[in-house]
Amino acid sequence: MATTTNYGWTTPDDTALVKDGASAIRTLGTSVDTTTKNLNPSTTLGDIEYRSSTANTNTRLGIGSSGQALTVVAGVPSWAASATSTLTTTGDSLYASSANTLARLGIGSTGQVLTVAGGVPSWATPASGSMTLLSTTNITATTTITVSSISSSYTSLQILIENFKASGDNSAVTIRLNGDTGNNYSWNIRQNTSGATAGVSSIDAPGSMGLDNVNDNSVYVVDIPFYTSTSAYKTGSIITGWQQNDGYWYSANGNFGYKSTSAISSFSWICSTNWAAQGTIKVYGVK
Amino acid sequence: MAKPEITIHNSETNEIVTREMNASEFAQYKLDQEQYKAKQAEAEAKLIARQAILDRIGLTGDELKTILG
C-alpha cells in the first residue's frame, strides 16, 4: 500500500477498489490527525513546542512566568530566571551564587559598602575609626592617680585630663607609664628638655614647677600611638593648657619617648603635693 | 609621718582603690620629692641669675619680654 513521502500516511493504491475508499480516507484522516497532534501538542495560551527525540513528535513547553527567559537545560529549551526576573526590588544587584546561577543581592542601607563575605558579595557597614571611652577616673586628694589594666584592643590611647589642680603651690606634675620608675623617659615640652642622654625617671608635665592651687580649668591631653607594641619603644604627644600661679593662662605642646618594648597598660598622673579632689582622667581607646 | 596616698583605678574591672603608698612606692615618692626640690632650686637659681643680669643692664623683666618679642 502506498504511503506519503514525509509522514508515511497510508493512501490507496491506484488499483484499489472504490468500495474501499471510505475506509482508506478514514485511515488517512486518522493518521493526519495523529501526526498533527504530535506536531502541535500545545494546550494552553503561551505554549511553545520543540522537537523531541521522537521523530515527528514535538514536546510542549508551557509558558514560563513573567520575566523568565528561554534557556537550555540538558539539551532542550527551558524557562529560567532571567536577570530581569531575579531583580525584584529597586537597588537590587545580580551576582552568581554558583556557576551559571543568578542570585539577587538586595540593596544595603545608607552608608553601607559592598564587601565580600563567604565568597559572595554583601553589603556591610564599613569599618571606621572610632574612640571608645575605657575609663573615667575622678581625681582624688592623693599624690598619684594610676589607671591600670588598660585594654590592649586599640591602636592608640588618648588620655584626657581636665579640670585638675594641685593642692599646693609650685607643685611638680609628672607622668609615668606602667609604673616604670627607671630612667627610661625623655621629653621635650616647650623649651624644656630631659637634659640627660641616659633618660630620666618620669615625664615632666608643662608647668610642672608652677602648677598650684589656684590652677583651674586645666586640660591635658596625651596621645600614645602603638601603645601595645611589644617590639618598638613608645612615643607620645602632649597638648595642654593650664593656669599658673602668676595668673597667666598657658598652653603648650610637646612629645616624649618611653624606652620600653612592653605594651602600655597603666598610666600614672603624679603631683609632688597632693592633687586637689577635682577633675577627671578619661582614657580612650582609639581605632 | 603618714605616707601619701595613691589611687589605682583598674579600668578593666572598674575597681578603685585608694590606699597609703607601700614601702617601694614611698621610697620612690621620696626620691621624686628630692628631684622636684632640686629642679625647683635650679629654676629659682636661674630666676635669680636672670634677675641679676637684668639688674646689671638696667632692664625689667617686662622690658626684656618686649625686646625678645
A142: distance to nearest CA of chain B, Å? 5
The answer to whether B6 and B26 have CB atoms below 8 angstroms apart is no
3-state DSSP assignment of residue A251: strand
User: Which cell is B16 given?
Assistant: 578603685
For residue A23, pLDDT over 50 is answered with: yes
- B9, B31, B43 member nearest A148 (Cβ): B9
Report the alpha-carbon distance of residue A181 to residue B52 in Å, rounded.
37
| pLDDT per residue as tens digits for the range A242-270 | 766 666 667 778 889 999 999 999 999 99
- Per-residue model confidence (pLDDT) at position A100: 84
For residue A184, pLDDT over 50 is answered with: yes
What ipTM was assigned to the predicted interfaces of this complex?
Answer: 0.75
**B8–A140 C-beta distance less than 8 A:** no
Q: Which among A178, A155, A126, A145 has a CA at the least distance from the CA of A284?
A: A155
The predicted model scores a pTM of 0.60
Task: Report the phi/psi class of residue A63: left, alpha or beta, with left for phi > 0 and alpha for psi in -120 to 50.
Answer: beta
- B14, B16, B29 member nearest A143 (Cβ): B29
For residue A195, pLDDT over 60 is answered with: no
For residue A35, CA distances in Å to A40, A45, A77 come to: 9, 21, 22
Per-residue pLDDT band at A198 (split at 50, 70, 90): low
Q: Which amino acid is at A55?
A: A
User: How many other CB atoms sit within 10 Å of the CB of residue A191?
Assistant: 7
- Per-residue model confidence (pLDDT) at position A215: 59
The answer to whether A142 and A277 have CB atoms below 8 angstroms apart is no
Contact residues of A toward B, CB < 8 A: 134-135, 137, 140-151, 170, 172, 174, 181, 201-202, 208-209, 270, 272, 274, 281, 283
Per-residue pLDDT band at A272 (split at 50, 70, 90): confident
**B10–A270 C-beta distance less than 8 A:** no
**B5–A146 C-beta distance less than 8 A:** no
Q: For residue A230, what is the DSSP state?
A: S
**A149–B10 C-beta distance less than 8 A:** yes
Q: Which among A133, A130, A129 has a CA at the least distance from the CA of A282?
A: A133
Report the alpha-carbon distance of residue A233 to residue A184 in Å, rounded.
10
| pLDDT per residue as tens digits for the range B15-55 | 999 999 999 999 999 999 998 888 888 888 988 998 899 99
For residue A57, pLDDT over 80 is answered with: yes
Q: Which amino acid is at B32?
A: D
Helix, strand, coil tally for chain B in percent (to 5): 60, 15, 20
**B7–A142 C-beta distance less than 8 A:** yes
Contacts of B47 (CB under 8 A, 6+ apart): none
Contact residues of B toward A, CB < 8 A: 4-14, 16, 18, 21, 25, 28-29, 31-33, 35-36, 39-40, 43
